[in-house]
A and B are shown apart, each in its own frame.
Chain A
Amino acid sequence: MTKRNGYFLFVALATAYFYSKDGDVTSSVYATGAAFALPLALAAMVGIMCERTGIVNIGIEGTMLLSAFVAFFVSSLTKNIMIGLICAIFTGAMMGLILAVMAVAWRMDQIIAGTIINILATGLTSFLYVQGRTIPSVFQAIEVPVLSKIPFFGPVLFIHGPLTFFGIFIILALYVAIYHTSWGLRSRAVGEHPSSADTAGVSVVRLRYINVTIAGAIGALAGSYLSLELVGSFERGFTAGKGFTALALMIFGRWNPLGALGAALFFGLAQAYSNQLMIDQVVNIPTQFTAILPYVMTIVVLTISAGKVRPPAAEGQPYEKGQA
């Protein structure tokens, strides 16, 4: 606890210092950091939901990529970003379902199953990608009345697009659900010791299907956020490894939604800082070095704070009823 409080204190002090130097720039760096963090945090939720029930999902990257594409492409065809979003979420859920079929029903190796998802997404998006398409608009930022007027916290936390607020809601809801509802208790039991759940009358197979499918939909939200809210376009390889980074953040956050959110915020902030350093040219070093800053910082922090990592015990193992 004290170590964690130490981190918080350090971040708070540093923030206060920068804010006293230049309020506007500091606020905007932090707002950008939050914007960078959200897709990572959401992607980490996909990992948490799957691994808590014992399914390893390395197909998060592919799920995000394909749904970001569907979100953009459908929006562009129909000139309606809501329809794009809905189609993307459906796509994500389907990709989750495909992973569940491979991992649960066919008992495939889950790393291979996830890789199939990734290759499928890379192939499809490269093949179907057309240059020069545009969407009518991105999801516009909403200013929360009153709260957005608070200095620093207002612009950082309360001026964001609807998908950001929805995403934050999902993360908090997932946290509460995992630790305080029977769904969460059962999911954790299934991920740790599936036969215990089975002998208590909990259907391991059903719960794994449900969770992996919903997780796919959350992954789609992360992808749609990128193409419909943050950037407003789509390129080949658009997600640039965010799905894999998210897996590291999930581990860093110890499979706890709030932990992963914290890790994502840290990473997003580091990225925003490195962008700002490039813009300001405060230090005269090549941009390649400032660009790797977030990754270096992540490695450093992970190394310092890493204790004994303990993943869900049944992770990656297909379950066979009656083999207790």
Chain B
Amino acid sequence: MMSALLEVTGVTKRYPGVVANDNVSLTVNAGEVVALLGENGAGKSTLLKAVFGLIKPDSGEIKIGGTPIVFGDTAGVISRGVGMVHQHFQLVPVMTVAENLILGAEPKRGIFINKKAAYDEIIALSKRYGLEVDPDAVIEDLPVGMQQRVEILKALRKDVKLLILDEPTAVLTPQEIDELLIVIRNLAKSGVGIVLITHKLHEVMAVADRVVVLRGGKLVGTTSPKETDEAGLAQMMVGRSVVLQVNRTEAKRGGVVLEVKGLEVRDDRKIMSVKGVDLQLHKGEILGVAGVEGNGQRELVEAICGMRHREAGEVLINGVATKDMHPHAVHEAGISHIPEDREKHGLVANYTIADNLVLNQFDQEPFAKGWIRDLNEIAKNAIATVEKFDIRTPSAFNTAGSLSGGNKQKVVVARELSEELPVLVAAQPTRGVDVGSIEFIHNQLISARDKGAAVLLVSAELDEILSLSDRIAVMSDGKIVAIVESKDADRNYIGRLMAGLKE
């Protein structure tokens, strides 16, 4: 019998205070799509990094094509035909697509890089897989979807037999996701074995042949989309039944709290991307902003929160105008903000979880007495919050950077909800977060609303918008093209508006 493409046997990896992988075994055959499911911190990325030679497991064996790999030998693993698309793109931002693609195995002429051969190879590669790229484009100028494409081509470059995809769809638009799933299916058809990590259960149902579930570092089961449904997968992951549908009572809508008038904002390239937005957000409601990413939502949120210059218009809280470009003043005026990019704007990676949890009130009672921080109170708060929000960490005094993505997000959400300010702006609050945590975060947003907060929810997930919002504003090309009551909302209608179609 032919040996399996990938055979992981009894792999264990311990980090101080946690067992990331506990005796995990996994087999992947040629032409098969295996989805690896699990909560944040369940050990999925750890396992795949071990397979790719980026970390060294403490024990166990990993075989590719029947022969064991040397732990930690990335170059060796690559030469055996393994490609990996990383959760955080592994592309050099200031270099061109071509330079990024050839890095590590450059075509040469003498001692020099053979640029012509590199171009020919890239063009042939992108034709072969139907993934078009411009070899001369600089990575940092490209939209995320295009960067993803480069990342995939990079992984496919060396006649890949096994392709590992670590949350490839987390930052993609729905259209880009559909395209990617087609690419994955085609690759599998051509005989490539694929391991896919994702939190989006419908993607698993759509593309996987087999589903392997990890929980707390242990393998808890194997199933297939034919044998189960999304609810069943969620239950396997979390170990209890998960309510995928949000329980939401009718909103008790109060007066206008946040008012945005004629707001105009430019994006990083100085192009006008919010083109005159008016919004009124009421006490006790969730207003969802739906839209294809890149239609000005990010700039809108940043301008409201004082992080980006407002070219025109104003943002009022309870009728009082807030200061432009002054996040602190805006926060004082009453806006909590769950930022879209938690790594950059949500956390200080080198600070402890405890300190990150009080970043918004470190200088106020009870966390400070005058100029002196009260470390006792900070610690008490941290321990209680870690417990309440189920933040998976060996200790509340580890650095925030050591947490997995979903747990980082819980820290941000916990902190921003702790103050109970009149307005909560939540941008992509569940991006890259597992279903169990999504359920939790959704319930937190609803309960903030029920306590009387005005919640502005921006999300690229239309399902999230539909299930949480009381009213839905559709944003397209920098404008709010429609605001509908969610009970009248029709998925197709909103989808058409998002795409910029008129009615």
Of A141-149, A183-191, A266-274, the one touching chain B: A183-191
Of A65-73, A75-83, A195-203, the one touching chain B: A195-203
B266 on the A face (CB < 8 A): no
Per-position 1/0 for A168-205, Cβ under 8 A of B: 00000000100011100110110011011111111100
Residues of B contacting A176 with CB < 8 Å?
A: 112
With A186-B104, A199-B84: A180-B90 Cβ-Cβ less than 8 Å: no
Say how far A58's CB is from chain B's closest CB, in angstroms. Answer: 23
Say how far B298's CB is from chain A's closest CB, in angstroms. Answer: 22
With A185-B99, A189-B103, A193-B91: A180-B86 Cβ-Cβ less than 8 Å: no
Of B4-12, B47-55, B407-415, B487-495, the one touching chain A: B47-55
A181 touches B111 (CB 8 A): yes
CA distance A129 to B154 in the complex (A): 56
CA distance A198 to B108 in the complex (A): 20
Say how far B493's CB is from chain A's closest CB, in angstroms. Answer: 41
Residues of A contacting B79 with CB < 8 Å?
A: 201
B95 on the A face (CB < 8 A): yes
- Which interface residue of A182, A195, A197, A203 has the most chain B CB atoms within 10 A? A182
How many of B's residues come within 8 Å of A, CB to CB? Answer: 31
B92 on the A face (CB < 8 A): yes
CA distance A186 to B74 in the complex (A): 15
Say how far B44's CB is from chain A's closest CB, in angstroms. Answer: 14
Counting chain A residues whose Cβ lies within 8 A of the other chain, the interface size class is 20 to 34
CA distance A196 to B86 in the complex (A): 10
* CB-based nearest A residue for B157: A200
CA distance A199 to B157 in the complex (A): 13
Say how far A42's CB is from chain B's closest CB, in angstroms. Answer: 22
Residues of B contacting A313 with CB < 8 Å?
A: 93-94
* CB-based nearest A residue for B75: A201
A199 touches B112 (CB 8 A): no
Please pick, from B72, B90, B95, the residue contacting A199 in the complex, using a CB distance under 8 A. Answer: B90
CA distance A193 to B113 in the complex (A): 20
Please pick, from A180, A196, A203, A321, the residue contacting B103 in the complex, using a CB distance under 8 A. Answer: A196
Say how far B292's CB is from chain A's closest CB, in angstroms. Answer: 28
B94 touches A185 (CB 8 A): no
Residues of B contacting A181 with CB < 8 Å?
A: 111-113
Say how far B377's CB is from chain A's closest CB, in angstroms. Answer: 32
Say how far A164's CB is from chain B's closest CB, in angstroms. Answer: 25
Say how far B62's CB is from chain A's closest CB, in angstroms. Answer: 15
A324 on the B face (CB < 8 A): yes
- Which interface residue of B74, B91, B104, B111 has the most chain A CB atoms within 10 A? B104
The secondary-structure label for the interface of chain B is loop
A286 on the B face (CB < 8 A): no
B104 touches A197 (CB 8 A): yes
A185 touches B103 (CB 8 A): yes
Per-position 1/0 for B443-482, Cβ under 8 A of A: 0000000000000000000000000000000000000000
Say how far A177's CB is from chain B's closest CB, in angstroms. Answer: 8
B55 touches A321 (CB 8 A): yes
Residues of B contacting A193 with CB < 8 Å?
A: 90-93
A188 touches B92 (CB 8 A): yes
B103 touches A200 (CB 8 A): yes
CA distance A192 to B113 in the complex (A): 19
B106 touches A182 (CB 8 A): yes
A202 touches B49 (CB 8 A): no
Please pick, from B74, B87, B95, B113, the residue contacting A201 in the complex, using a CB distance under 8 A. Answer: B74
B95 touches A192 (CB 8 A): yes
Say how far B95's CB is from chain A's closest CB, in angstroms. Answer: 7
B91 touches A321 (CB 8 A): no
3 tightest Cβ-Cβ pairs between the two chains A and B: A200-B104, A201-B75, A322-B55
Q: A182-B108, A197-B103, A321-B72 are in contact. List 14 more A-B contacts (CB 8 A).
A: A182-B113, A185-B99, A186-B103, A189-B99, A189-B103, A192-B94, A195-B88, A195-B90, A196-B100, A201-B75, A201-B78, A202-B104, A322-B55, A324-B90
Residues of A within 8 A of B (CB): 176, 180-182, 185-186, 188-189, 192-193, 195-203, 310, 313, 321-322, 324
Q: Could you list 15 A-B pairs, sorted by A, with CB under 8 Å?
A: A176-B112, A186-B103, A189-B92, A192-B93, A192-B94, A193-B93, A196-B90, A200-B154, A201-B104, A202-B104, A321-B54, A321-B72, A322-B55, A324-B87, A324-B88
